[in-house]
Structure 1
Amino acid sequence: MTNFLRLLKLCKPHLGAMLLGAFLATLTVLANVGLLAVSGWFLAAMAAAGLANTQMNYFTPAGVIRFLAIVRTASRYGERLVTHNATFLLLSEIRVSVFNTLSQLSNVDLAMSRSADLFNRMQNDVEALDKFYLNVLLPMIVAIISVPIVIAIMAAYNADVALLCFIALLFVGVALPLILSRQLQNTADLETQYSATLRAELSDTLNGLRELAIYQATEQQVKQCRDASEHYNQQLFVRHSAQARSNGLSLLVVQLSMLGAIIVITPLVYNGTMANVELAMLSLFVLASFETVLTLPNAFIQLPVALSAANRIFDLEDKLRPVAKNAHESVPVQPLGLEFKDVSYCYLSNTFALNNLSFVIEPLQKVAIVGQSGSGKSTLVNLLSGLWPQQSGEINLTFAHKTMPINMTSQQNRCELISIVAQQHHIFDGTIAENLRYAAPAATKEQMINACKQVQLADWLCELKLGLNTRLGTGGRSLSRGQSRRLALAQALLRAPAILILDEPTEGLDNQSKHHVMDAILTSMQQCTVLSITHDPALLSNMDQVIWLEQGCVKAIATHQQLLIAQPEYVNLITRF
């Protein structure tokens, strides 16, 4: 019920369009019911008048029938137009909400989910909610409004027929859907789970084709995909079978109700209590009245699927709520220092990546972090960027003789203060200008060209016919690794951060590219505090201080030259890397 109410809240921005669609759908149903009932009366009356060789008013009922037909056609067209537009509006609301949630989740939350599962939540689960208004909510609203109207009109002719019809409507529209909904509750959860598993297996298969071929494991992986597909198809079969049984049983009840109405009315016609033409009218009236609830069984079948998908989506959203309650302050971009006090971080395996880490970085100081793989370097960067939540200890920003916990700043303010140039930097499929404007949306052409000059990309940019409007391709495939790294530095320079974090900026580059990147880094380091993870002796020699980490602890803090003299292990470390 909670997820149902939360889905209704998502509908609130488009409530007007949805209510209009419900009104038009109800009008269509009532026009259909009225059209069939009046047509039955008219045909029976015409036949009776012909047999009795009497005259009757032909124009009034014909006009009513024509009016109802026009209303039905117009309202059906309007209902399709409005309800589908409302569905698309709701779908866009849900998609934006899901993407907004994913964009705010920390890396811890994202790392606990497979990427294929997150993609499944964004696509398959959202598509399941696509049917919430049109196939679930709308039939319920139409039934609630139209059933009392139909029964009230029917009761004016015969209360017994109305009672019989009402009981049948309750069975078809309420009892049968509730039974099916309870039966399919577990099936819906399993269907959503197996769908996510199947997508994850297919994604792993496509991404790992090379490894599967190398280790001759393709057949084994395909078998896992086939098993996942069979499990998913079994759940679909269960749901579709239940839907078919529901439709068949509903049709049987409809026919029996019409037969029951004929049985009730026939004695009344025989003894003259009711006109013979009303037998045809009420019989068809009963038959047509089921249109008010005929879509409810399918709505209750779709409801568990929609709620199961909503539950998976809202699970991600719920992870944001504790963060939203924290008070945030804003720090202007200015020379900033960093202070680490007894910072510890432990992963799920109870292994400390950082253990009581303490050191200070002064404003505008250039500091390098070195250490073997697993010493805590990347964890340190993730804590600074906010991608991982702090567990214990304090990380403070220092400026103008003041100290502020970094957690007190909003994520937006933190991104303004700190820029990270990662070792693996993603280049979007767009132009050079578009990629640069991801970092600084308001950047002018002159600012972008100047940033490219600072990172040694000016000559390359001049060679391009389209200049900043040159497309880079998917993942920046038209760039070399050195050019990609320098473009990332240009993005960082455009933001003009107070703190610049470099993650192995020269790793994996050839000597020429390394030289260009080094020149770009030295240029970018002049006006901000720099924290660089590196083992490159050329870059280390330009640092004011080197912090040597080992097993999550500080082993030594000194200059590069001092460590070379005093620590033989340090020489081996930077030589090996």
Structure 2
Amino acid sequence: MLDRIPIIHSLKHDHWVKPFLQRYRKTLILAIFLGILTFICGGGLMFCAGYLISRAATHPANILLIYVPIVLTRAFGIFRPAVRYFERLVSHNWVLKMTSKFRQKLYDSLEQDAVFFNSKYQLGDILGLLSDDVSHIQNLYLRTIFPMMVAWGLYAIIVVGVGILSPLMGLWLLLVFFLMIFAIPFWSVIINGARQAYQKELQDELYTDLTDNVLGVTDWVLSGRGQEYLDLHVNSQKKLVEVRKKMNQFGRLRDFCLQLLFLLIIVSIVIWAAGKFGGHFGPLTNWIAAFVLTLFPLNEAWAQLPAAAQETNVYQKSLVRLNNLPEPSTEKNPEIALKAPYELKLTDVHYTYPKTTKEILRGVNLTIKPGEKLAILGRSGAGKSTLAALLRGDRQPNEGSVLLNGIPTAKFGDQITKYFSVINQTPYLFNTTIANNLRFGNEEATDEQLWDVLRRVGLDEMVSNLPQGLETKVDEAGLRFSGGERHRLALARVLLKNTPIVLLDEPTVGLDPITEQAVINTFLTQLQDKTLIWITHHLQGVERMDQVVFIENGQVSMQGSPQELWETEARYRQLKKADEGLE
């Protein structure tokens, strides 16, 4: 029966979240004990205060009759906030330690798939994983598991304690509290939990649709479908409002039933106290006030359970999504130390993306000698970027091999950065100083080295004229600078890194022709002593390459030096003339 509840079924087969309960079980047990003790102190305070107030309202025969309740009231009054504070420290320390390790595990898992984001995930899915799912797992512990365990502990103590005094009353409380602690929360999971899961589904769709559509909003406007774009999100928002309305209506009905049961318990306690203590243990009113007032602070323990239980359906979706992620790899790549010269060799390379059948590369053979300048050209989708990923070791070929000095590049892992630097279409600059951005290439670089690489890329004068020089903030994504300047700063980082192989992945896309030529000249001049692999979509500047390779339909269609291709390939001559605007 319980296994049919989605969250219980997911936790039973969970290998992502459940291990943290085991790892931090001692802290969890202490937090639960302190949580139960907090409510016991609260109940004890109200019990003693209720008895004391009622007893003090009558003329006591002896002051000693109220001395003990006075002392206990003071003791419980001190212990309740102290224990509550300590419980909050322990429980939040527990959940923060747990979620910090959990986040690390999540980031490690996503990092393994970083190069596959575009092919495996939508942007909305990543936002859901990094934002909603992490907070849901934190709330699963803090708002659901922890309060439920505290409530169950109190439930056992109350039923056993009252049952010792009166077995019949103990059975009655067993039944009524069962309705409050188990039946109504289960009802919430069945009715409102399904609605909440639907609400989460709608929110995930909005995440995905909004990110996708905002990135392509220009296409909506240019195609004359601006109103359709707005209607799409208005309709989704209406569905969310309707679901929330139904959830609120059910929540009010559920809370009303919960308070009716609480009233029934109060009436039962009044009747029981009157029959049990009336005339035998002092004035009846003293005991009625004591027992009834005890219930009010305890009500806080189970009043929150239905709302917490219904949220488990949302948490269940997060659990499923997290458990579909790969486990982070614990294996470390062995240390690889290569000696110059460095040669790249591709032999009969075939590659097909996961979950697709189209072969992107088909039998590519290529040798890149030390210090060679190679241009790789082809149309969009021809396989140029896939080839670049294989060269860097981000992907493994389905067949064939990609070797750097005889070792598969996929085996290098992070060590590949010792040998490869990359400048892509949109070099990213972080929202920090120019100096810090440059030192991503070499953390130990001195200011003199920074000015040297800035001079080499032609930015020293521009930076020196800035108010704060090297300490000038570049703004988010480097928006303070033009496209050409961002590419030059990226080149400066590469020069500081000083790797033997540099991969340029269409670095001049989006630049005007004059800036493009200037950037190309800077790249070729400053990287003349490196092995240079330049992926591009047109032929400007390729005459300065040692070798030119054309990729078409996943295969090498033309290969040779620029001079050889000009002399032997009519198609190359035609493309070159067209690129220069001669035809």
Shorter-chain-normalised TM-score: which range? 0.7 to 0.9
| CA distance in 1: counterparts of 2:277 and 2:508, whole angstroms | 97
Q: Is 1:151 aligned with 2:153?
A: no
In the alignment, residue 6 of structure 1 is paired with which amino acid?
W
Q: Residues 271, 61 of structure 1: CA spacing in aligned structure 2 closer, same or farther, 3 A cutoff? A: closer
Q: Residues 228, 564 of structure 1: CA spacing in aligned structure 2 closer, same or farther, 3 A cutoff? A: same
2:336 match: 330
Deviation track 1:280-328 (CA, whole Å, cap 9, x = no partner) reads 444444565544433322321232222322332443xx2355x656965
| CA distance in 1: counterparts of 2:42 and 2:471, whole angstroms | 58
Q: Residues 272, 469 of structure 1: CA spacing in aligned structure 2 closer, same or farther, 3 A cutoff? A: closer
Q: Residues 517, 314 of structure 1: CA spacing in aligned structure 2 closer, same or farther, 3 A cutoff? A: same
1:374 match: 381
The one of 560, 566, 569 aligned to 1:567: 569
2:41 match: 31
Deviation track 1:366-396 (CA, whole Å, cap 9, x = no partner) reads 2211223332112211222344453332211
Deviation track 1:197-231 (CA, whole Å, cap 9, x = no partner) reads 11233334544443333333221111111222233
Deviation track 1:161-200 (CA, whole Å, cap 9, x = no partner) reads 2222222222211232234324455444433221111123
Q: Is 1:41 aligned with 2:44?
A: no
Further displaced range: 56-65 or 229-238: 229-238
2:302 match: 293
Alignment of 1:141-540 (within 5 A): 141-184=149-192, 186-269=194-277, 276=284, 277-285=286-294, 289-315=298-324, 318-321=325-328, 328=334, 330-332=336-338, 334-347=340-353, 350-398=357-405, 403-410=406-413, 412-510=414-512, 512-534=514-536, 539-540=541-542
| CA distance in 2: counterparts of 1:288 and 1:432, whole angstroms | 58
| CA distance in 2: counterparts of 1:4 and 1:260, whole angstroms | 42
| CA distance in 2: counterparts of 1:546 and 1:186, whole angstroms | 59
Q: Residues 244, 98 of structure 1: CA spacing in aligned structure 2 closer, same or farther, 3 A cutoff? A: farther
Further displaced range: 123-132 or 87-96: 87-96
Q: Any idea what SS the aligned residue of 1:541 has?
A: helix
Tell me how far 1:450 sits from its aligned partner. Answer: 2.4
Deviation track 1:115-165 (CA, whole Å, cap 9, x = no partner) reads 133223322333333423331122123224333333343334323222222
Tell me how far 1:421 sits from its aligned partner. Answer: 1.0
Q: Residues 268, 545 of structure 1: CA spacing in aligned structure 2 closer, same or farther, 3 A cutoff? A: closer
- The answer to whether the 8 A contact 1:420-1:500 is kept is yes
- The answer to whether the 8 A contact 1:189-1:305 is kept is yes
Q: Which runs of 5+ in 1 are unaligned?
A: none
| CA distance in 2: counterparts of 1:88 and 1:183, whole angstroms | 31
Q: Residues 536, 372 of structure 1: CA spacing in aligned structure 2 closer, same or farther, 3 A cutoff? A: closer
Further displaced range: 247-256 or 387-396: 387-396
Q: Residues 389, 258 of structure 1: CA spacing in aligned structure 2 closer, same or farther, 3 A cutoff? A: farther
Q: Residues 6, 384 of structure 1: CA spacing in aligned structure 2 closer, same or farther, 3 A cutoff? A: same
Q: Residues 244, 342 of structure 1: CA spacing in aligned structure 2 closer, same or farther, 3 A cutoff? A: farther
Q: Any idea what SS the aligned residue of 2:16 has?
A: helix
Tell me how far 1:431 sits from its aligned partner. Answer: 1.8
- The answer to whether the 8 A contact 2:393-2:411 is kept is no
- The answer to whether the 8 A contact 2:15-2:323 is kept is no
| CA distance in 2: counterparts of 1:65 and 1:522, whole angstroms | 83
Tell me how far 1:422 sits from its aligned partner. Answer: 0.8
- The answer to whether the 8 A contact 1:108-1:387 is kept is no
Q: Residues 444, 326 of structure 1: CA spacing in aligned structure 2 closer, same or farther, 3 A cutoff? A: closer
Tell me how far 1:358 sits from its aligned partner. Answer: 1.5
Alignment of 1:9-158 (within 5 A): 9-10=19-20, 21-46=31-56, 49-50=58-59, 57-84=65-92, 86-87=94-95, 90=98, 92-158=100-166
- The answer to whether the 8 A contact 1:455-1:523 is kept is no
- The answer to whether the 8 A contact 2:48-2:69 is kept is yes
| CA distance in 2: counterparts of 1:572 and 1:324, whole angstroms | 53
- The answer to whether the 8 A contact 2:16-2:322 is kept is no
Deviation track 1:330-358 (CA, whole Å, cap 9, x = no partner) reads 24474321121221223556333211112
Q: Any idea what SS the aligned residue of 1:350 has?
A: coil
| CA distance in 2: counterparts of 1:537 and 1:142, whole angstroms | 71
- The answer to whether the 8 A contact 1:443-1:494 is kept is yes
Q: Residues 575, 351 of structure 1: CA spacing in aligned structure 2 closer, same or farther, 3 A cutoff? A: farther
1:546 match: 548
In the alignment, residue 504 of structure 1 is paired with which amino acid?
E
Q: Residues 3, 35 of structure 1: CA spacing in aligned structure 2 closer, same or farther, 3 A cutoff? A: farther
- The answer to whether the 8 A contact 1:33-1:291 is kept is no
Further displaced range: 501-510 or 252-261: 501-510
| CA distance in 1: counterparts of 2:69 and 2:451, whole angstroms | 78
Q: Residues 351, 292 of structure 1: CA spacing in aligned structure 2 closer, same or farther, 3 A cutoff? A: closer
| CA distance in 2: counterparts of 1:470 and 1:320, whole angstroms | 41
| CA distance in 2: counterparts of 1:571 and 1:441, whole angstroms | 46
- The answer to whether the 8 A contact 2:395-2:410 is kept is no
Tell me how far 1:407 sits from its aligned partner. Answer: 2.0
- The answer to whether the 8 A contact 2:14-2:323 is kept is no
Further displaced range: 107-116 or 78-87: 78-87
Tell me how far 1:270 sits from its aligned partner. Answer: 6.3
- The answer to whether the 8 A contact 1:333-1:416 is kept is no
In the alignment, residue 339 of structure 1 is paired with which amino acid?
K
- The answer to whether the 8 A contact 1:116-1:196 is kept is yes
Deviation track 1:484-536 (CA, whole Å, cap 9, x = no partner) reads 11111112222222321112344444455344423432244334322112366
Q: Residues 490, 553 of structure 1: CA spacing in aligned structure 2 closer, same or farther, 3 A cutoff? A: same
Q: TM-score, normalised by structure 2?
A: 0.86
| CA distance in 2: counterparts of 1:551 and 1:31, whole angstroms | 75
Q: Any idea what SS the aligned residue of 2:425 has?
A: coil
Number of aligned residue pairs: give it.
Answer: 567
| CA distance in 1: counterparts of 2:444 and 2:322, whole angstroms | 33
- The answer to whether the 8 A contact 2:193-2:313 is kept is yes
- The answer to whether the 8 A contact 1:344-1:353 is kept is yes
| CA distance in 1: counterparts of 2:296 and 2:349, whole angstroms | 74
- The answer to whether the 8 A contact 1:329-1:408 is kept is no
In the alignment, residue 351 of structure 1 is paired with which amino acid?
K
Q: Any idea what SS the aligned residue of 1:58 has?
A: helix
